[in-house]
Chains A and B, each alone.
Chain A
């Protein structure tokens, strides 16, 4: 199975990091991005955007990463959309928890803006390449 990665739904509450990641994914990576600052916003925008991949910050006020994922999974068109979590606290146990939730992988923060896109592509290739 080989599927192209093009559209990414990206959810991050921290404005600074959002801007850097946007640069990293759009300008460097060449992806099409839908950026959300909140889980609720992501749930609202996801069906229309129909992303290939969802990139989720774990710790957000209100609806956190896992909560957002649960809400997204409730939407029929997003039942199987692959998800990658992003978090500063990459403890092995946490990674296991996120993977158990169905995440492809976890990307550690801080990420390197010049290689973030590559990192995403590598994870994608491993599972969809």
Chain B
């Protein structure tokens, strides 16, 4: 069996080689048809052009020429539009044929990915959820009232914490030292005394240098208790009865280290070995990189990769880095993207010209790796902070409507270039209006924040989380098919529906419904949203508190 498979693979390799050899001919043929059409229009010839382009779309993808197939697809769609218009040479789109054909020819020079049958590792659909190691989110709860403590702990666990309960002080010190919890929630009043909890912490802390943050909880609202807690080095003081949302937010703040998505750096350098060397350097620091060695590809790469910083050689074939920077700055979306030049250039006037064109920094070759890293990191970090004010929803910190739409387009572009899969989930809180009506808007906000934090906790850094406003949320899951997306969301749905919210001393729970659509088969942002919305509607109709996948057939 293994032999037969090997044989087939060998045959496929031979076919690929043959295809590669014939490709220039095929492209040449397209060009000559286009030239003839330019001279004299002919309907039949135009149909041939369309057909041959179509065949490249299919065969290119079959043999691993993703870029070629993609470019052929663009041209094919244009030709189809013209064909269907029936006006032939009068169609305004005729003028675009040349440009798309040129793009196709360029794409034909990009070698096929080595195995048409195996996708690059990063686009392999994931099989497992990537989440924080549960052991890493261990917290201690110390309270002599076993009932209250137990009820609380259940809620913390629903929010993704691993909780250990202590009902007395014995064993606490040793456990802190041994298991190093991320935080301690400590009652103040114990049988030992009205401030016993605080005193105990002060006592233990003296013998521990690396002590976790402590949250004191107490019915005591007096200054004495609060002062004592401050002296004990408290991280927070929360009065009983505990407002769970408040507690969870405090816990999150104290225990989360936000790693963020990897930085995306575009490197433009005609010296390929130099470019990949720098790329490697940045990758080792955990960044994502894309290398362009030919400036002509810039406009194709920009919208797909959406770099957060551009690292560019000052001298490039066909144009200078300064000119290219000016071109980048003409695009509204990249006005704020930091551009860092590098060159052997030491002439100060060149530096100034580079800055005027919109460059942000200048590095002199050869660049020390740590200098490169420091420059890139600090620039991207600052750019992110500024952007976050513009693209984040102020209540939840999730992406806002505009931002999620933009990011979705980007992810779709990536998914299609690599024949990957992507899922889109639309989430809507059930009967949310009633929450607002019964418990007030502050309670409603709590619910919205509660769901957003649960989403943030359960999905990968590379998943996109957004709020469309109101009670509608979006999750975009690259490299996940609908089944996997549904499974992940199902866990979230189940946990969320059990989370207790409190308002005016009343406890209540809220559920949500969701609809999921995936690309393929829904390959545009519009159809994804439409189909997910339809599935969501069905979920609501079917009784809410459930997740449905778009019917694909």
Contact = CB atoms under 8 A, between A and B. Distances in A.
Interface of A: 13-14, 16-17, 19-20, 23-24, 27-28, 59, 61, 88, 90-92, 95-96, 99, 105-106, 108-114
A100 to B, nearest CB: 11
A59 B69 CA distance: 16
Interface residues of B, number: 32
Contact of B61 (A23, A90, A95, A109): A109
B22 to A, nearest CB: 8
- 6 nearest CB pairs, A to B: A110-B61, A110-B62, A16-B59, A14-B55, A90-B521, A27-B8
Contacts of A27: 4, 7-8, 11
Max chain A Cβ within 10 angstroms of own Cβ: one of B15, B54, B58, B117: B58
A17 B58 contact: yes
A20 B15 contact: yes
Interface in B95-122: 116-117
B117 A88 contact: no
Contacts of B131: none
Contacts of A13: 55
A109 B116 CA distance: 13
B387 interface: no
A23 B11 contact: yes
Interface string B116-157: 110000000000000000000000000000000000000000
Contacts of A96: 553
Contacts of A99: 553
Given A27-B7, A28-B5, A92-B521, A14 B12 contact: no
B62 A105 contact: no
A59 to B, nearest CB: 6
Given A61-B51, A91-B521, A113-B117, A105 B58 contact: no
B412 to A, nearest CB: 14
Given A27-B4, A95-B553, A88 B61 contact: yes
B520 A90 contact: yes
Nearest to A114: B117
Contacts of B15: 16, 19-20, 23
Given A27-B7, A61-B51, A113-B116, 6 more contacts: A14-B58, A17-B58, A17-B59, A20-B62, A109-B62, A112-B117
Contact of A23 (B12, B59, B419, B531): B12
B521 A108 contact: yes
Contacts of B522: 92
A92 to B, nearest CB: 6
A34 to B, nearest CB: 20
Given A16-B63, A17-B59, A95-B553, A110 B8 contact: no
17 contacts: A16-B59, A16-B63, A19-B15, A23-B11, A27-B8, A27-B11, A28-B4, A28-B8, A61-B47, A61-B51, A88-B54, A92-B522, A95-B521, A95-B552, A108-B520, A110-B58, A110-B116
Interface in B31-84: 47, 51, 54-55, 57-59, 61-63, 69, 73
Nearest to B65: A110
Contacts of B520: 90, 108
Given A90-B520, A110-B419, A20 B58 contact: no
B436 interface: no
A20 B116 CA distance: 12
B527 interface: yes
A92 B523 CA distance: 9
Contacts of B419: 110
Contacts of A59: 54
Contact of A17 (B5, B8, B62): B62
Contact of A14 (B9, B59, B117): B59
Contacts of B69: 110
Nearest to A103: B553
Contacts of A24: 8
Contacts of B527: 91-92
A121 B256 CA distance: 48
Contact of B57 (A88, A91, A106): A88
B19 interface: yes
A20 B63 CA distance: 9
A20 B12 contact: yes
